[in-house]
Structure 1
Amino acid sequence: MADQNNNATGSGNHTVGVALLGMGTVGREVLRILGEAETDFTARIGGRLEVRGIAVSDLSRPREGVDPALLTDDAMGLATRDDIDLVIEVIGGIDYPRTVVLAALKAGKSVVTANKALVAAHANELQEAADSSGADLFFEAAVAAAIPVVGPLRRSLAGDKVNVVMGIVNGTTNFILDAMDKRGASYDEMLAEATELGYAEADPSADVDGYDAASKAAILANLAFHSPVSFDDVHCEGIRNITADDIAAARSANCTIKLLAICERLVDDNGAESISARVYPALVPRDHPLATVSESFNAIFVIAEHAGRLMFYGNGAGGAPTASAVLGDVVAAARNVVHGGRAPGMSTYANLPIADFGQVRTRYHVDMTVQDRPGVLAEVASTFSANGVSIKTVRQEEGDDSARLVVITHHATERDLEETVDALKNLDAVKNVRSVIRMEGN
């Protein structure tokens, strides 16, 4: 920990040695804001922050305004140095950052990370290392950048029982789906525009296939339900197959389509609890708060037993918003270095099991093309009923030699719905099942 000779607790004379690991978009913003607001940070912390080293992958690359003497390509050596109290990790990736962060925590250094993939994969291992050494582990920026949701789940709602955390946690996919809804454009058109604007990477898989959102869902479920949840526990589907026709069908149902991360506490008929963590595109009613989240913004909707319904909204990505969340954690961690004490960690005391995805219940929007003849609707309805799925509404549109049939169900299990769709595909009356999209928020 810090040199105690430097410590005049609460006097502002204590210096907190900081190691910054990574100088990408977020790292540059963190360093810039630390420099511009140095006096404010000192006042908020009760001591001075001093960046004593910056780990980068390429020392030959020029970095304007950065003292070259601070730069090193030895992140491990920097993170475990005796004069370092606090490590800020914004490298990205999993394996190498895990090694460095674990070493820092075991050496008693508090860690602030924005690395969602790392936290989603190894949260409990990292927290155990922090607990063993008495260090802090902060990761507000790992979920939805500047939107404060990790802190409320760890602290503000610690005295409550959270039942649902549901939200839009990926700005790229929200931008694409929002634009498809507003303009009637295709997925490919909007992905190209998102790439041109810098919302999507050259390889957009992490975003559009739902992996980014799944990492965040794992973190949120872990925090909300006090149980170990990793990325591999999250059912994950992306938005590549969403078409302009799907968007139009959603509009006809007075809904919009959003990629949702859903973390839910489930209770079976015997009162036994389990956890569902899932990511997929879903129809959301237009009067639901999440339906109004536009462009690249994020929002997280929480339902707790006593607090009721809460929503957190704001910029979920970008250098400055992410740096804001990182620096909020830096202030909290540095205050603990100066004044003593620790932040609440991740508790997994409940240790609830992960529910089988087939038992998850929701509503469904089933869009199919059928023969245009008498008796078809009865055959389709009978197929739903035979598989235990109740129909709420049916909409039919006539074509030249076929009809489009859109069925919205009551709540049913994933397994029953899957069996229903398989049966529909084997009906002579059904030419094809165009799409099956879940419905949430109602």
Structure 2
Amino acid sequence: MGRDINVGIFGLGTVGCGVVKILQDNADVIRKRLGFGINIKKVFSHTSKCKNLLTNYTYTKDYKELFDERIDIVLELIGGIDVARRFVIEAIEHKKNIVSANKALLANYGVEIFSKAAKNGVKIGFEASVAGGVPIIKIITRDLMANNIKSIKAIVNGTCNYILSQMFETHESFETILNKAIKEGYAERDPSFDIDGIDSAQKMAILAAISFNAKIEEKDVYVEGIRDIDFIDIDFARQLGYRIKLLGIASMKNERLLVRVAPYFVEAENILAKVDGVYNAISVISDMTGQTTYVGKGAGSLPTASSVVADIIDIAKDFESGKVKDTLSKGVFEKTEFVDIDSLESHFYIRFSVIDSVGVLANIAYVLSKYDISIKSVVQTGKGLDVVPLLVLTHKAKESNIKKAILEIEQDHKSIIKNGTVLIRVLE
């Protein structure tokens, strides 16, 4: 039987309250399985929804009390970047092991934090920073450690997946489903962080760093969101045997890394196309195990808190064995060159908004051909309206050529092109 492990909590928001609930409601189960208990010793938080749930702890007005020598592990659950970064760095300098759910922090300062943790001989647990209740960090850093990872394709934002799934099922517009998601609590009142792809980009930066030993930050991720997707795009994809999903993709090509977040046409039989609602899915392709896919709830108080507690337990087990092993070694992150997305080739879906008149398709097809882009399929809907959608699926083309062609069409054919053009890649 080992001694009890004491934790300090910095921040009692949604995730923090979930951690409190798990540690207190399942205290007996944890003690039986570990042979010792995990106690909440001190808490620092300006606000809290669950102070009344806490027992046998000290609520402190000074965060530095969390560096008490009796506290073994500190939980950073406040979110944000600046305050969280200062706290985590200071905690590491006080030789405290850290568990964090802070994707924004790790996507921007992960290399600094992991390096400092290694120098100070402490461990950083960050399972909850990506995909909530899906244990993808441990899978990559432990279970697939002997594998050379080739690529990751992932749905890592439940809000966007819910919106796209609902549009597919109900045939309603993006705006209608977004408002529904906000009312039902699946989206924030300001949903920009999710629907513009920022949340997914932060998570993909973390996954790419640990999968490819790469120095990568959020700014290195190419990002597109789902604001411009309409039901007409989803219906056209369905007719062709695809579903539209917001994917995060990380892959290594000729020793150069490409990490991007964007909507994709995904073949209906692909496992990622079948993951709906608020669920996340991460598909990893590696040299020894091939493709493995992990699915689960990507957000919410208890799924995310469960990942936090799992990290606490991992570190607690290290204490019992007498040695805390750092999660990632000091030299694991290597300077990385990045692939220019414009150099890639893909099939593309393009939605033009055009006036309904003779010769429009011919003009568009002519410009596309100038840039070596051939049309695989084309549909014009809404006949009789002044402005109608023209839907084009191309054969494989270079991304830079697609963008040049669209720019020329929009600039030189303003008399026939109205509104913005929508471009979606097709997942190979």
1: CA distance between counterparts of 2:413 and 2:165? 35
User: In 2, are the aligned partners of 1:396 and 1:406 still within 8 Å (CA)?
Assistant: yes
- Aligned partner of 1:270 in structure 2 is none
User: In 2, are the aligned partners of 1:20 and 1:53 still within 8 Å (CA)?
Assistant: yes
Give yes or no for the alignment of 1:278 onto 2:256: no
- Aligned partner of 2:295 in structure 1 is 313
Q: How does 1:293-304 map to 2 (within 5 A)?
A: 293-304=275-286
User: In 2, are the aligned partners of 1:19 and 1:52 still within 8 Å (CA)?
Assistant: yes
- Aligned partner of 1:393 in structure 2 is 377
Task: State the shift of 1:29 in Å.
Answer: 1.5
Q: Deviation per CA, 1:381-401: give whole Å up to 9, x if none.
A: 342232233433334558348
- Aligned partner of 2:216 in structure 1 is 229
**Unpaired runs of at least 5, structure 2:** none
- Aligned partner of 2:135 in structure 1 is 148
2: CA distance between counterparts of 1:147 and 1:203? 25
Alpha carbons of 1:85 and 1:27: their partners in 2 closer, same or farther (altered >3 Å)? same
User: In 1, are the aligned partners of 2:12 and 2:50 still within 8 Å (CA)?
Assistant: no
SS at match of 1:165: strand
Q: Deviation per CA, 1:350-389: give whole Å up to 9, x if none.
A: 4321222322333210122366536x65543342232233
1: CA distance between counterparts of 2:184 and 2:5? 38
Task: State the shift of 1:342 in Å.
Answer: 0.7
Task: State the shift of 1:183 in Å.
Answer: 0.4
- Aligned partner of 2:350 in structure 1 is 366
2: CA distance between counterparts of 1:66 and 1:122? 32
Q: Deviation per CA, 1:213-241: give whole Å up to 9, x if none.
A: 11101111111111011111111222222
Give yes or no for the alignment of 1:244 onto 2:231: yes
| Identity over aligned pairs, percent | 32
Of residues 430-439 and 107-116 in structure 1, the stretch that sits farther from structure 2 once superposed is 430-439
Q: Deviation per CA, 1:290-340: give whole Å up to 9, x if none.
A: 111111111111111222111110100100100111111111011112212
Alignment counterpart, residue 342 of structure 1, candidates 315, 325, 330? 325
2: CA distance between counterparts of 1:398 and 1:230? 44
- Aligned partner of 2:60 in structure 1 is 72
SS at match of 1:383: helix
Give yes or no for the alignment of 1:169 onto 2:169: no
Task: State the shift of 1:432 in Å.
Answer: 4.2
2: CA distance between counterparts of 1:410 and 1:163? 25
User: In 2, are the aligned partners of 1:367 and 1:436 still within 8 Å (CA)?
Assistant: yes
Alpha carbons of 1:305 and 1:394: their partners in 2 closer, same or farther (altered >3 Å)? farther
Task: State the shift of 1:113 in Å.
Answer: 0.7
2: CA distance between counterparts of 1:397 and 1:306? 47
User: In 2, are the aligned partners of 1:371 and 1:431 still within 8 Å (CA)?
Assistant: no
Task: State the shift of 1:94 in Å.
Answer: 0.8
User: In 2, are the aligned partners of 1:257 and 1:283 still within 8 Å (CA)?
Assistant: yes
Of residues 286-295 and 315-324 in structure 1, the stretch that sits farther from structure 2 once superposed is 286-295
Q: Normalising by structure 2, what TM-score? A: 0.91
- Aligned partner of 1:417 in structure 2 is 402
2: CA distance between counterparts of 1:398 and 1:210? 30
User: Quick one: which amino acid aligns to residue 420 of structure 1?
Assistant: A
1: CA distance between counterparts of 2:226 and 2:387? 28
1: CA distance between counterparts of 2:33 and 2:409? 63
CA RMSD of aligned residues (A): 2.4
1: CA distance between counterparts of 2:421 and 2:156? 24
User: In 2, are the aligned partners of 1:145 and 1:317 still within 8 Å (CA)?
Assistant: yes
Alignment counterpart, residue 356 of structure 1, candidates 340, 345, 348? 340
1: CA distance between counterparts of 2:326 and 2:227? 40
